Structure 1
Amino acid sequence: MTIETTDLEFAYEGEPVLRGVDFRAAGGEVTMLLGRNGAGKSTLLKHLNGLVEPDGGAVYVDDERVTYDDASLRDLRTKVGYVFQNPDDQLVAPTVGQDVAFGPENVGVDAARRTQEALETVGLSGFDDRLCTTLSGGEKKRVSLAGVLAMDPDYLLFDEPTLGLDGDGCSTISAVIDALRREGITVVVATHDLGFALSVGDVLTVLEDGEIGYRDATISRERAAEFGLRTFAFDGY
Structure 2
Amino acid sequence: MRLIALLVVLVLSACDVAPPAPVVAPAQTVTPVAVNARPAPKNFGTVSRAVGAQARSECRRRTSGGNCDFRIVIDPDKRAPANAYQTLDKQGRPVIVFTQSMIASTRNGDELAFVMGHEAAHHIRGHIARQSQNAAAGAIIFGQLAGLTGGNAAAIDAAQQLGAVVGARSYSKEFELEADQLGTIITYKAGYNPLIGVRFFDRVPDPGDRFLGSHPPNAQRVQVVNQTARQLGLVQ
TM bucket (normalised to shorter chain) is: under 0.3
Larger strand proportion of the pair:
1
Structure index of larger Rg: 2
Larger helix proportion of the pair:
2
Given the two structures, how large is their TM-score scaled by the length of structure 1? 0.25
